[in-house]
Amino acid sequence: MQLAKEKVEIGFIGIGVMGKSMAGNLIKAGYKVNIYNRTKARAQELINNGAKWLDTVAEIANKSNVIITIVGYPKDVEEVYLGENGILNNAEKGTYLIDMTTSSPKLAQRVFQEALAKGMYALDAPVSGGDIGAREARLSIMVGGDQEAFENIKPIFEIMGKNIVLQGKAGSGQHTKMCNQIAIASNMIGVCEAIAYAKKTGLDPTTVLKSIEAGAAGSFSLSNLAPRMIAGNFEPGFYVKHFIKDMTIALDSAKEIGLWTPGLELAKSLYDKIAALGEEDSGTQALYKLLDK
């Protein structure tokens, strides 16, 4: 049974580049939203728009019956869910837990099992679409967990995204996101090389983009990130440091299943280089700087 909006109190943990827009869309849709972030200043706009600030993860867990998290790294997910003052030790039986962080499939499975033991419902639901997708509420949401819990929460997902698919059991959402990141990793190299090639040959990269983005080379990265490269805009829609984290998880997971991923290995090595040059807080399109010399 889907949850009636008037009976839902959402706790939202993680007000970053994407989380801020996602929580904002839930508020606009009329949901009651409690928020927590390590840096309160980042949440001020949401507070001004009607969100209720709570001082700790434990308070969020205690006062919300649907809890959404989108934090940085698997270690943050582990602390937020499994720590002494975390969600699982403070939420009530029957609470829905939705982790939208890109994290470890194994960790997602562990959270699911521990939640189940406490009578809670856990879904791993990482997203794709970057800052634009979050802002425009058209994220792709990849979900792992039980069918019934998914159906009950689906109206909330529909406020944040457009392409919402239950992929299978717990951890399946994270595995699907690894597929997504693997596909993006090699594609980003190609996009950067194409724009650099256009520039080096004396073409206008913007005009080149008009031709190639509508053909077989078309991709989200080409249409949305190549214009930023051309404009010299390297502000984060998605951080380099978080992409490196994702690729590390994907490489580890691929190794566990005995899969060779040479494209992913190359992309990770190039992003490590750009991070070492001080670009870890730039957007993923900053990879272009390695070629634009």
| Interatomic CA distance for residues 12 and 35, integer angstroms | 5
Pair (102, 191) in one structural domain: no
Q: Model-level pTM?
A: 0.93
Angstrom distance (rounded) from CA 190 to CA 124: 30
pLDDT digits (tens, 9 = 90+) for 145-192: 999 999 999 999 999 999 999 999 999 999 999 999 999 999 999 999
164 with 199, same domain: the answer is: no
Q: Please identify, among 103, 137, 169, the residue that sits at the C-terminal boundary of a domain.
A: 169
Boundary of a domain, candidates 169, 194, 222: 169
* Domain end residue (candidates: 169, 191, 208): 169
Q: How far is CA 259 from the centre of its chain?
A: 24
What is the DSSP code (8-state) at residue 3? P
Tokens of 271: 């992003």
- pLDDT for 130 beyond 90: no
Q: Tell me the pLDDT tens digit for each residue of 238-259.
A: 999 999 999 999 999 999 999 9
Q: Where in the sequence numbering do the catalytic residues fall?
A: 177
Q: What is the CATH number of the domain that holds 281?
A: 1.10.1040.10
Strands (E), 37-126: 52-53, 66-69, 96-99, 121-124
pLDDT at position 17 is 87
163 and 181 part of one domain: no
Together in a domain, 65 and 160: yes
210-226 pLDDT, tens digit per residue, is 999 999 999 999 999 99
Domain around 215 = 175-290
Number of domains into which the chain is organized: 2
Do 44 and 150 fall into the same domain? yes
